[in-house]
Amino acid sequence: MIRPPAVAGVFYEARPEALERDLRARIPEGISPGPAFGGIVPHAGYVYSGGVAGRVFAEIDVPPSVVILCPNHTGRGKAAALDPSGAWRTPLGDVPVDERLSRRLLDLAPSLELDSSAHAREHSLEVQLPFLQSRRPDASIVPVSIGAHDLELCREIGLACAELAAEEKGAGRTAPLLLASSDMNHYESRAVGSRKDAMALARVEALDPEGLFATVIAESISMCGFLPATALLFAAREAGAGPARVVARADSGDETGDVGSVVGYAGVVVDPPSGAGSKEEPV
């Protein structure tokens, strides 16, 4: 079963040649990629957030497998859903799902269920894939969406991801990269949005999942992927990873010129545990 592209031609170019050109323009050159435990990457249309996403992918030496945690914008499907497709299709080809790691993550996170409906029209994971294909054409993924505002669910999935990474390293394999797909605050002025984004990012930099979850709710921060980001922070803290570095920030007003109502974007790289490194050569 192949999950077809849902937003090609809307969020990003549908023609392969045009998409490849766009990716080259948005992934900066001159940056030496290094190993990473994980990252937070925005998921708006490339014209708005592609430069921030490109900076994150430029920083990371992408390993063979990537666990991608995304929000559920559609409200369809299970609260925690792992897509059962064999691959995800983009204009650049098919990205295989890592079936072995998917099965193991299902074992480690009992609340996680196989469910394609949560992913069928969800853009936030899909838009990461062309960047991933550009940086690591042979990468496979574990596609997970989190749709319930439940701190304990985020903890469960985050700790399961940390255990999955530890098991892979213990078996002499390269641990998967853990990416959380999220934009920042939505549709307030640049001044308000920047202030709210800074509050959320302070908790990210502190590797404080409980603090991020509480801050987003208490301060009414419309950070659409705060659940995946919270799970990522639980995983990073459990694994002893970090620091978490904000490598890029922007908002939609940079493109539209309208600073009265913006969506914020931030790119974060979470460094691996001290002494850890990738066995793979940069690609």
Mean pLDDT of the chain: 96
Helices 209-218/226-239 angle, 10° precision: 160
pLDDT tens digits, 96-135: 999 999 999 999 999 999 999 999 999 999 999 999 999 9
Is 283 part of any domain?
Answer: no
pLDDT tens digits, 225-256: 999 999 999 999 999 999 999 999 999 999 99
Query: Could you give the number of structural domains in the chain?
Result: 1
Q: Which domain holds residue 242?
A: 2-270
Is 88 part of any domain?
Answer: yes
Q: How many residues comprise the chain?
A: 283
Is 277 part of any domain?
Answer: no
282 versus 266: which is more confidently predicted? 266
pTM of the model: 0.95
Locate 50 and state its tokens.
């592609």
| CATH number of residue 40's parent domain | 3.40.830.10
Is 279 part of any domain?
Answer: no
pLDDT confidence bin for 281, thresholds 50/70/90: very low
Is 207 part of any domain?
Answer: yes
Is 276 part of any domain?
Answer: no
Question: Measured between alpha carbons, how far apart are the two ends of the chain, in Å?
Answer: 28
Taking the C-alpha atoms of residue 113 and residue 68, their distance in angstroms, rounded to an integer, is 15
**Omega before 130 within 30 of 0, i.e. cis:** no
How confident is the model at residue 282, as a pLDDT?
28
Is 22 part of any domain?
Answer: yes
Is 282 part of any domain?
Answer: no
- Does the pLDDT at position 278 exceed 50? no
